[in-house]
Chains A and B, each alone.
Chain A
Amino acid sequence: MQAWRLWLVPLAACLAACAVPARAGAQPSGRQWLQVRAGELPGSERLVVRTSGDLVVTGEAAAVIRYVARFRARSAAADFAPVRAAFGVSGIDARTLPDGAAGLTLRRPSCEGCRVLARLEVSVPEDMAELDLATQGGDIVVRGFLGAVAAEAAGGSVEMDAIGSKVSATASGRITLGAVGGSVFCKTKAGRIELKQADGPVQLETEVGSVRVDMVSRNAVLRTGAGSIRIEHVGGMLRAETGSGSIQVTEALDGIVAEASAGSIRIGRVGGMLRAETGSGSIQVTEALNGIVAEALAGDIWIGRVAGALTAISLTGNIAVSLDGRYPLRDSVLSTEVGDLFVELPETLAVTVEAAMQMFGGRRGIVSDFPEIRVRRSSGLLGRAEASGSLNGGGALLRLGTRIGRIEIRRQR
């Protein structure tokens, strides 16, 4: 322990002993009984709160920690004796912990014949280093805090905004995050997760619920067992996985791995390599700067501008690709079992094309706008058709294949 901290422990103990005594009171309000307990603790680097019921923490430009606990009891019987007994043991333990952290522990009584709801509101110095919060059966709300926050809402939701450092949150329900100045790790059993902005890496997981993210400056991992994923901007790499739901990404500066067991995948712009897989649903990519591997078992694939190697595979879907001459293409494959292939090539693109149609390669089974790409059919009326040729002296090899379907190689207009 550093020397300057040696005097902290006795000082904190003294301050705790001298803490402003909690005010207590209980009074009936209609059919309910209310009890309020409030107090203060000296500021600390870290605050640990263990409670049951709702917890609201607000950062303020202050030097002390203030808290107010409200208990509300409802009795099924006209006799309020059980409530009085319960309120006799309810309250809050405020003390400095052995490691120097400030600690608040709420005592919510069990009550036979009545139900007690608790809510703890805490205001803390906004420049504290860390909040460690946990509640049983309630929500956690944190606003305007410059330090790091770890929150666990075992039977409730979590909501945070204007957090200056990293956030870790686990919940049973919804997680809603505004602006976060550091990394974010969130996990919930059931509920949607929303994040406005994070200045750090992000990992968000929910078993059942959608995930919505506006902006992440670094890498992001987003997972849901069932629900859609939508993210506007990722400054690094993105991994998005859903069991059943769509994935929509507007922009990722680095690569993307997007996997959906069922649901469509729509990607705007991806700076790195894109790998997209879906079991049943379509894949649509507007712009990819470092290659694509797209697999759709039962769905169409649309690819816009792509640089690098392109692999697009579908079992029962069509594949449509529009290449851009400004984006250098590497050896690529487009393949579908039962579906059509449509490729638009710009005049200036140097590329070598090989196309094969396994069955029913009729007179128009393969069509090409380019005389350099020659189409050949087998002698059998229902046999194979092939086409090959080079444009602008040849370049990357573009292989096109379908078992049952058509292939069109068109000049870009």
Chain B
Amino acid sequence: MSAPDGPPPLESNLLRRRIQLYLYGELGFAERSEIDCWLEQDPEFRELFLDERAFLESLSASALGPEPEPLLDSCREALGRAVAEVPAPCRRRSLLARASAARSRVAAWMAARPLAWQAVGATAMLAIGFLAGRAFSPRAFLHSLSAPAAAADRTLTGIEAVRLDPVSDRVRIVIEERRAISGVSSDPTIRGMLLDTVQGAHAGARLTSLDALRVQASDRDVREAMLQIMLGDDDVGVRLKAFEAVEDYASQPDVREALVQTLHRDRDPGMRVHAIQLLREHPGRDVAGPLQELVERESDPLVLQETLRILDALGASMERY
């Protein structure tokens, strides 16, 4: 390291960071050439380089190692055999005693080495994330084509970003976890997620969720959510989808109330036309008053015409007195 164009001192954090960047493929051409040159000329640097690479690869191997399933399966099998060999009455006491002793040992070890276990814990969490992501495949998407009702969970994990902080020498990896859950819409978990989706996702997901929830519209909670969408969603297509989902329940008071609100509030004449035509198919005295109000201020000729028809069918006067 005495050459004038040699690398900085081996203890330098800067040097280690540059090796890491080199290994991550983040260095430019000139810097990579410099590292290559040092590798050829400086045995100490080469030793440091190999050491650093071995460390990073050990991290990588634990995160991206071979298929985890066989290892897990063999561990489970071995554990199962060991447990089966222990007589049942003493097994519980033995396990409890072992667990208690192990917990004491781990607690003492952790108290003595806080920095070590925190780093190990963080690495373990990272590894779990990778393993979970690698453990499952998008095969489930195709399977859903043939067996849409199959109840199976899949976890997909992808890396969104990796940032290296050159000051603290820490790597920050942003992992996006996507879970694909399939099941019938009557399943409480699925239904809950669909109800969340209709209020927050993009329009395409809201439309599909409303389609899925349609068969649950007899449920008052589901219908209430649909009526909120019908009255409040920004997208007229989504409002219309919600309308179509509840139109079979046009005789229900909550739906009738929402239809009247649509007539009075919806800024899209198309939605008002849908609402008044549905009320025409299900006329009732309960809507006579609101419709009489509507006659006085409705500007759309079709809505006005349909309103008059309903009032006529009800035998109600067409004006308010």
Which residues of the partner chain A approach B162 to less than 8 Å between Cβ atoms? 360, 382
Interface residues on B, range: 35 or more
A117 touches B312 (CB 8 A): yes
Assess whether A190 is in contact with B204, with CB atoms less than 8 Å apart. no
Check B270 against A226 for contact (C-beta < 8 Å): yes
Task: State how many residues of chain A have any CB contact under 8 Å with chain B.
Answer: 71
Is the Cβ of B138 less than 8 Å from the Cβ of A208?
no
**With A137-B305, A243-B237: A320-B273 Cβ-Cβ less than 8 Å:** no
Contacts of A157 in B (CB 8 A): 277
- B208 near A282 with CB under 8 A, answer yes
Known: A320-B141, A342-B138, A382-B24. A404 touches B203 (CB 8 A): no
Q: Which residues of B contact A382 (CB under 8 A)?
A: 24-26, 162
**Please, what's the 1-or-0 string for B128-154, where 1 marks a CB less than 8 Å from any CB in chain A?**
001000100111011011000000000
How far is B134's CA from A383's CA once the two chains are assembled, in angstroms?
17
- B301 touching A191, Cβ below 8 Å: no
Chain B residue nearest to A338 (CB atoms) is B158
Known A-B contacts A208-B273, A244-B235, A298-B204; the reply to A172 vs B312 at CB < 8 A is no
**In the complex, how many angstroms separate the beta carbon of A108 from the nearest chain B beta carbon?**
13
Q: Report which residue of B56, B145, B319 has the largest number of chain A beta carbons within 10 angstroms of its beta carbon.
A: B145
Task: Give the docked Cα–Cα distance between A123 and B10 (Å).
Answer: 103
State whether A227 and B237 are in contact (beta carbons under 8 Å apart), knowing that A263-B203, A280-B203 are contacts in the complex.
yes
Partner of A381, one of B60, B160, B208, B235: B60
Q: B270 to A209, Cβ gap below 8 A?
A: yes
Q: List residues of chain B with CB under 8 Å of any chain A CB.
A: 23-26, 56, 60, 64-65, 130, 134, 137-139, 141-142, 144-145, 156, 158-160, 162, 202-205, 207-208, 211, 235-238, 240-241, 244, 268-274, 277, 301-302, 304-306, 308-309, 312, 317-319
Nearest B residue (CB) for A153:
B302
Interface of B is mostly: helix
CB-based contact B64/A304 at 8 Å: no
Quick one: which of B25, B138, B159 contacts A340, CB cutoff 8 A?
A: B138
**Which residues does chain A contribute within 8 Å of B277, judged by CB atoms?**
157, 173-174, 191
Cβ-closest chain B residue relative to A171: B302
Residue of B nearest to A30 (CB): B315
Q: What 13 new A-B contacts, CB under 8 Å, besides A209-B270, A281-B205?
A: A155-B302, A155-B304, A244-B237, A262-B204, A262-B207, A282-B208, A302-B142, A320-B139, A342-B141, A359-B159, A380-B26, A381-B24, A404-B160
Contact of A115 among B160, B208, B241, B308 (CB under 8 A): B308
Report Cα–Cα, A320/B305, bound state, in Å: 51
Jot down 30 A-B pairs with beta carbons below 8 A, ordered by A: A156-B302, A172-B301, A173-B273, A189-B302, A226-B236, A244-B237, A262-B235, A263-B203, A263-B237, A264-B208, A278-B204, A281-B204, A281-B207, A282-B204, A284-B145, A286-B145, A302-B142, A322-B145, A338-B158, A342-B138, A380-B23, A381-B23, A381-B24, A382-B24, A382-B25, A406-B137, A406-B138, A406-B158, A408-B137, A408-B138
Whether B142 contacts A74 by the Cβ 8 Å rule is no
Are A378 and B25 closer than 8 Å at their CB atoms?
yes
A360-B64 contact in complex given A189-B269, A344-B142, C-beta closer than 8 Å: no
Residue A362 lies at the interface, judged by CB distance under 8 Å to chain B: yes
Q: Which residues of B contact A300 (CB under 8 A)?
A: 141
- Cβ of B156: which chain A residues have Cβ within 8 Å of it? 340
